[in-house]
């Protein structure tokens, strides 16, 4: 979301007129890289269409749709003009806020800004401010009024106990935008205050975005402790905003008027008693806004001007809001933040309603000065657009041979199952409650029957349990009731269902409990199925035999949730071999070919496919001869794998007696035992960020300690190399928001992020040290590019070690950035070990994004330049008696193994499933011969030439 901060504000500027002010604003946007040269023309054109004066000495110049393509990033820049600038219509501007926006991302900012414009005129204070912080305070600091309207009153709500009643109150506050995730939890932790008459009071100021009061009464009598519960007030508190209301409530209760609340049958009576906002009983009009970018400045201005032409009050509110705001006020209209598809409810004083409402209706329908695309009609067929396929490419023909990127080895044969995420569009407004309810019932029944079939078909108890839970969710009476309440507000079945599922999922997430967060994912999963059914979009039926999953791109979480028994292989249109999803596919042992191009998304469901995950080959509907050959190869591979597996627990020693340690890369503590069982002599890379991603919020020290302890316990004395948190790049942490970066791979990731958030690294190190209990611990820092980074991280570790002693500790760094490899002779003096992350080292050396859809096939770690950097690292380390591992994907590449051994690498850390094969490969080698091979490879000119050399010598 766009935020205001002091660096965006230029103080004390001068402009002789509006044109000069616009030029200054455009310069500021260009200088900060938000827009291209030429945006000024957009600002001028926009002013020519109508002034952007907002009120109280503020103008909000912005571009036109024609100059939207000049915007690089959405953002704002503010300039203070203490002497004022004449803005037309007799208005003087002291603060101009220039907006660069490609879509409606800035609406929220405008909404906040305009909410700050209270009754008092801000212009004198804006003019006299001498520091940017003062301007910020003025814009953000206006006291907020307590929200109290009909959407915050819930009478006769379903609640089985007091806790559920609290949850219902918190939910109303969240829906009204007063509180965010986590509020229900903090409210529930407070001590309820009895007010007499069965009335109760609870408040919290945690995660509150604006002050508000909700009042809920239970449908059936409840008790809390020994006392009855007939109503609960829930306050989202900010400062003193609620003081007046509280005094009024106390007066009412002291005067014996508690029954107003305990026996309330309408929200109006509650609101009148408390002095909340009550919608006037005026003629009203509902109309859905169709403007593509919502009620932004230009249409809002047009609307306010139409309203101003009438001599009487006209109010407007969004769907569920109460009294609404004056339609004559531009700032209030903007503060609504209305978006396309939302319903505006206008009401006008009876004396002007007959003229004003039709005029407003016509103007809104016509787009308020903008050309608008009509909204989908209620009940009309949804538009379904497969994501990322503007002009679909033709599907490859039968017999076609596609060369793509090898991502996970193995040969897979099976029918294609295309899973494309459809973008569902549907009408917000329904065709009547009964009709929509019947549609929803129908969709729910069909999905339940589908799930029942899955329950019956699945042999695995854990999978069956998941589906049974999904069925229970579909039948949840509370969910149905809430959806019904939305249907009663004339929403379509799709809109009501989707809104309720999202609200319920967010509610679960807010409780910060891993199990409930999983439930939120399940809720969204069934939510999507029902929504797709309502929109008439059928999910593809899974073939009976194991299939090849074809997707645009796979997220790590997609792969992690795949059923290995059902998915024979993965084929994607985009992605690279070292993207994290490919790494997970390898870990699961599912053959994968990625980056095959968009054409594969046009394949017909069920098309027979042959994938060769080692060579990156795809054959579409191959003929019998090709299939036979592939099957033979698969059998030979299988035999090789079985032999290697039988010897997996033997050490990897070359024919001439040189031992290489073969260890595992893991991403979850629970994978350790399996890795050991598959022959790992230790763990060479614990990707702790994957441990972090498994939690709905940053795991605290105790939670982390338990995870690391689990790994060490399962290793039973074998060595463990832990990498500290490596987020950023293609690994964002959902709960660790990071500002968008132009080049995330070159931005704040790895150790850079950890040093910017040292408390995170400190907690992790403490947890690691505490888990060691006398066992050997090796810790390495990711993405180190500068010696200072290593030293800062090392110093922190050594400081903490004094507090939490660790008997056997080694500290090292990953060599992932060319600068670190080139500096290895210096770093080797200070570190205990190096571990080469070839995935990143290759991407940074060859300047190819590791996940690049088309280039990543060329990001081959066997490129002589990468091999040279590895060689330099090993030489430097060995000169100082330090050891070197390789933990990037190259370590598990059968062609790379002889070269890495020849370069002198001491440890190969690979996915657990590759361990047996890597060990078998090492046993086939001769060290002297491998050294000669490596020397030859360093002299070659390309990765392809290196591959050819090794193939030849095989």
Nearest Cα neighbor of 860 from 841, 833, 886 is 841
Answer whether 417's CB lies under 8 Å from 605's CB.
Answer: yes
Select the residue interacting with ligand PEP from 276, 409, 591, 837 (CB under 6 A): 837
Interface with ligand PEP includes 679 (CB under 6 A)?
Answer: no
Give the range of 99-107, 355-363, 615-623, 833-841 binding ligand PEP by CB under 6 A. Answer: 833-841
CA 729 – CA 750 distance, rounded (Å): 9
* Residue 730 binding result from Mg ion, ligand PEP, none, given CB thresholds of 5 to 8 Å by partner type: none
Catalytic residue among 106, 470, 580, 695: 580
Q: Of how many residues is the chain composed? A: 954
Which residue, 173 or 908, has its beta carbon nearer to ligand PEP?
Answer: 908
Interface with ligand PEP includes 888 (CB under 6 A)?
Answer: yes
Smallest gap from Cβ 850 to ligand PEP, in A, equals: 8
For residues 670-690, b (16+ Cβ closer than 10 Å) or e, as one string?
ebbbebbebbbbbbbbbbbbb
Which residue, 439 or 580, has its beta carbon nearer to Mg ion?
Answer: 580
Please calculate the CA angle 863-866-868 and round it to the nearest 5 degrees: 110
The alpha carbon of 469 is separated from its chain's Cα centroid by a whole number of angstroms, namely: 25
Which residue, 721 or 916, has its beta carbon nearer to ligand PEP?
Answer: 721
Compute how many other C-beta atoms are within 10 angstroms of the C-beta atom of residue 498: 23
* Residue 176 binding result from Mg ion, ligand PEP, none, given CB thresholds of 5 to 8 Å by partner type: none
For residue 298, CA distances in Å to 63, 262, 333, 558 come to 11, 46, 11, 42
CA 523 – CA 513 distance, rounded (Å): 15
β-partners of residue 335 are: none
Give the range of 647-655, 669-677, 831-839, 866-874 binding ligand PEP by CB under 6 A. Answer: 831-839
Interface with ligand PEP includes 612 (CB under 6 A)?
Answer: no
Smallest gap from Cβ 404 to ligand PEP, in A, equals: 20
Active site residue 580: yes
CA 6 – CA 936 distance, rounded (Å): 58
Smallest gap from Cβ 671 to Mg ion, in A, equals: 18
CA 364 – CA 367 distance, rounded (Å): 5
Smallest gap from Cβ 888 to ligand PEP, in A, equals: 3
Select the residue interacting with ligand PEP from 174, 574, 687, 852 (CB under 6 A): 687
Smallest gap from Cβ 610 to Mg ion, in A, equals: 32
Which residue, 585 or 620, has its beta carbon nearer to ligand PEP?
Answer: 585
Interface with ligand PEP includes 749 (CB under 6 A)?
Answer: no
Interface with Mg ion includes 849 (CB under 5 A)?
Answer: no
Secondary structure of 661-707 in HEC code, one letter for each residue: EEEEEECCHHHHHHHHHCCCCCEEEEEHHHHHHCCCCCCCHHHHHHH
Answer whether 540's CB lies under 8 Å from 605's CB.
Answer: yes
Smallest gap from Cβ 947 to Mg ion, in A, equals: 23
Which residue, 616 or 837, has its beta carbon nearer to ligand PEP?
Answer: 837
Burial class of residue 370, CB neighbours in 10 A (0-12, 13-18, 19+):
middle
CA 926 – CA 941 distance, rounded (Å): 25
Give the range of 196-204, 228-236, 830-838, 911-919 binding Mg ion by CB under 5 A. Answer: 830-838
Nearest Cα neighbor of 937 from 903, 907, 910 is 903
Catalytic residue among 178, 234, 535, 887: 887
Spatial CB neighbours of 528, under 8 Å, sequence gap ≥ 6: none
Select the residue interacting with Mg ion from 840, 860, 889, 906 (CB under 5 A): 840
Give the range of 261-269, 327-335, 762-770, 812-820 binding Mg ion by CB under 5 A. Answer: 812-820
Which residue, 535 or 793, has its beta carbon nearer to Mg ion?
Answer: 793
Which residue, 490 or 849, has its beta carbon nearer to Mg ion?
Answer: 849
CA 167 – CA 172 distance, rounded (Å): 9
Tokens representing 751 are 């150790």
Tokens representing 886 are 């390789």
Smallest gap from Cβ 750 to Mg ion, in A, equals: 7
Active site residue 296: yes
Which residue, 416 or 780, has its beta carbon nearer to Mg ion?
Answer: 780
* Residue 687 binding result from ligand PEP, Mg ion, none, given CB thresholds of 5 to 8 Å by partner type: ligand PEP
Select the residue interacting with ligand PEP from 123, 507, 508, 838 (CB under 6 A): 838
Smallest gap from Cβ 99 to ligand PEP, in A, equals: 37
Interface with Mg ion includes 490 (CB under 5 A)?
Answer: no
* Residue 838 binding result from Mg ion, ligand PEP, none, given CB thresholds of 5 to 8 Å by partner type: ligand PEP
Tokens representing 585 are 């596919």
Smallest gap from Cβ 249 to ligand PEP, in A, equals: 56
Catalytic residue among 242, 293, 296, 470: 296
Secondary structure of 289-300 in HEC code, one letter for each residue: CCCCCCCCHHHH
Side-chain-side CA neighbours of 361 within 13 Å: the count stands at 13
DSSP label at 396? P
- Region of residue 90 (phi > 0: left; psi between -120 and 50: alpha; otherwise: beta): left
Tokens representing 532 are 């797709």
Instruction: Give the DSSP H or E segment for 84.
Output: strand 75-86
Interface with ligand PEP includes 816 (CB under 6 A)?
Answer: yes
Select the residue interacting with Mg ion from 837, 851, 861, 904 (CB under 5 A): 837
Which residue, 149 or 840, has its beta carbon nearer to ligand PEP?
Answer: 840
Which residue, 572 or 839, has its beta carbon nearer to ligand PEP?
Answer: 839
The alpha carbon of 268 is separated from its chain's Cα centroid by a whole number of angstroms, namely: 40
Active site residue 13: no
- In the block, which residue shows the tokens 């403007």? 291
Residues 757-786 that bind ligand PEP (CB under 6 A): none
Catalytic residue among 62, 695, 852, 863: 62
Residue nearest to Mg ion (CB): 840
Give the range of 54-62, 672-680, 758-766, 831-839 binding Mg ion by CB under 5 A. Answer: 831-839
Give the range of 39-47, 302-310, 654-662, 837-845 binding ligand PEP by CB under 6 A. Answer: 837-845
Residue 567: φ, ψ to 5°: -100, 110
Interface with ligand PEP includes 887 (CB under 6 A)?
Answer: yes
Smallest gap from Cβ 859 to ligand PEP, in A, equals: 11
Please calculate the CA angle 42-48-53 and round it to the nearest 5 degrees: 95
Chain contacts with ligand PEP (rule: CB under 6 A): 685, 687, 726, 816, 837-840, 887-888
Catalytic positions, written as ranges? 62, 296, 580, 887
Chain contacts with Mg ion (rule: CB under 5 A): 816, 837, 840
């Amino acid at each position: 979301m766009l935020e205001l901060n002091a660096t965006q504000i230029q103080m004390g500027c001068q402009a002789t007129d509006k044109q000069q002010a616009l030029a200054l604003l455009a310069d500021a946007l260009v200088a900060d890289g938000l827009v291209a040269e030429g945006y000024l023309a957009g600002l001028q054109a926009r002013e020519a269409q109508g002034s952007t004066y907002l009120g109280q000495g503020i103008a909000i110049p912005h571009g036109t749709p024609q100059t939207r393509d000049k915007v690089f990033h959405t953002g704002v820049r503010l300039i203070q003009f203490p002497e004022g600038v004449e803005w037309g219509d007799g208005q003087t501007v002291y603060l101009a806020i220039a907006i660069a926006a490609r879509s409606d991302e800035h609406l929220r900012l405008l909404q906040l800004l305009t909410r700050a414009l209270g009754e008092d005129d801000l212009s004198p204070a804006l003019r006299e401010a001498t520091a940017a912080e003062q301007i910020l305070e003025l814009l953000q600091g206006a006291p907020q009024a307590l929200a109290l309207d009909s959407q915050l009153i819930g009478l006769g709500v379903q609640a089985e106990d007091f806790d559920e009643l609290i949850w219902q109150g918190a939910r109303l506050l969240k829906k009204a935008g007063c509180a965010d995730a986590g509020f229900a939890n903090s409210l529930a932790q407070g001590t309820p205050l009895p007010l007499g008459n069965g009335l109760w009071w609870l408040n919290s100021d945690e995660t509150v975005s604006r002050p508000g009061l909700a009042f809920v009464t239970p449908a059936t009598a409840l008790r809390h402790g020994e006392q009855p519960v007939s109503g609960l007030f829930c306050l989202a508190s900010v400062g003193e905003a609620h003081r007046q209301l509280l005094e009024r409530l106390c007066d009412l209760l002291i005067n014996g008027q508690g029954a107003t609340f305990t026996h309330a049958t309408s929200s109006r009576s509650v609101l009148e008693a408390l002095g909340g906002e009550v919608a006037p009983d005026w003629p009203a009009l509902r109309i859905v806004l169709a403007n593509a970018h919502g009620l932004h400045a230009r249409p809002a201005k047009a609307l306010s001007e139409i309203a101003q032409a009438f001599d009487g009050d006209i109010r407007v509110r969004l769907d569920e809001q109460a009294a609404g705001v004056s339609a004559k006020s531009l700032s209030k209209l903007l503060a609504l933040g209305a978006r396309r598809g939302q319903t505006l409810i206008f009401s006008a004083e009876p004396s002007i309603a007959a003229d004003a409402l039709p005029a407003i209706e016509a103007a809104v329908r016509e787009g308020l000065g903008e050309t608008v695309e009509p909204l989908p009609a209620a009940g009309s067929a949804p538009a379904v657009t497969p994501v990322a396929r503007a002009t679909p490419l033709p599907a490859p023909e039968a017999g076609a041979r596609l060369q793509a990127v090898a991502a996970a080895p193995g040969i897979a044969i099976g029918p294609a199952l295309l899973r494309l995420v459809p973008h569902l569009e549907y009408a917000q407004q329904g065709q009547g409650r009964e009709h929509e309810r019947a549609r929803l019932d129908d969709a729910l029944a069909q999905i339940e029957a589908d799930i029942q079939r899955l329950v019956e078909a699945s042999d695995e108890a854990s999978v069956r349990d998941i589906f049974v839970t999904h069925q229970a969710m579909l039948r949840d009476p509370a969910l149905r009731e809430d959806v019904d309440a939305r249907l009663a507000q004339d929403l379509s079945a799709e809109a009501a269902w989707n809104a309720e599922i999202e609200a319920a999922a967010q509610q679960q997430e807010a409780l910060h409990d891993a199990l409930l967060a999983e439930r939120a994912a399940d809720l969204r999963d069934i939510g999507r199925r029902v929504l797709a059914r309502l929109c008439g979009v059928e999910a593809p039926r899974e073939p009976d035999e194991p299939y090849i999953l074809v997707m645009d791109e796979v997220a790590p979480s997609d792969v992690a949730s795949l059923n290995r028994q059902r998915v024979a292989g993965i084929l994607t249109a985009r992605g690279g071999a070292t993207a994290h999803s490919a790494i997970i596919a390898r870990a699961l042992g599912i053959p994968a070919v990625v980056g095959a191009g968009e054409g594969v998304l046009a394949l017909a469901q069920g098309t027979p496919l042959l994938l060769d995950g080692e060579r990156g080959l795809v054959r579409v509907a191959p003929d019998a001869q090709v299939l036979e050959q592939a099957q033979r190869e698969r059998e030979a591979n299988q035999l090789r794998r079985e032999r290697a597996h039988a010897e997996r627990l033997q050490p990897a020693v070359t024919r001439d007696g040189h031992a290489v340690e073969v260890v595992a890369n893991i991403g979850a503590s629970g994978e350790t035992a399996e890795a050991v069982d598959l022959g790992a002599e230790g763990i060479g890379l614990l990707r702790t960020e994957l441990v972090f991603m498994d939690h709905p919020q940053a795991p605290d020290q105790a939670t982390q300690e338990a995870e690391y302890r689990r790994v060490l316990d399962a290793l039973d004395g074998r060595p463990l190399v832990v990498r500290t948190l490596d987020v950023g790049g293609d690994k964002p942490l959902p709960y660790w928001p990071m500002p968008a970066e132009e080049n995330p791979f070159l931005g704040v990731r790895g150790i850079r992020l950890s040093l910017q958030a040292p408390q995170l690294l400190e907690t992790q190190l403490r947890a690691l040290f505490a888990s060691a209990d006398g066992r050997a611990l090796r810790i390495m820092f990711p993405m180190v590019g500068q010696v200072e980074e290593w030293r800062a991280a090392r110093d922190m570790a050594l400081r903490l070690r004094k507090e939490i002693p660790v008997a056997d500790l080694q500290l090292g760094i990953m060599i992932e950035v060319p600068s670190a490899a080139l500096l290895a002779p210096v770093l080797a003096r200070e570190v205990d070990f190096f571990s080469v992350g070839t995935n990143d080292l290759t991407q940074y050396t060859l300047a190819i994004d590791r996940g690049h859809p088309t280039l990543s096939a060329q990001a081959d770690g066997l490129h002589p330049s990468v091999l040279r950097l590895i060689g330099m690292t090993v030489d430097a380390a060995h000169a100082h008696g330090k050891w070197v591992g390789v933990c990037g994907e190259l370590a598990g590449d059968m062609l790379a193994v002889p070269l890495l051994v020849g370069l002198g690498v001491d440890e190969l850390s690979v996915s657990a499933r590759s361990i047996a094969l890597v060990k078998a490969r090492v046993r086939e080698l001769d060290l002297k011969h491998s050294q000669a091979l490596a020397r030859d490879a360093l002299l070659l000119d390309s990765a392809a030439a290196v591959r050819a050399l090794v193939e030849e010598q095989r």
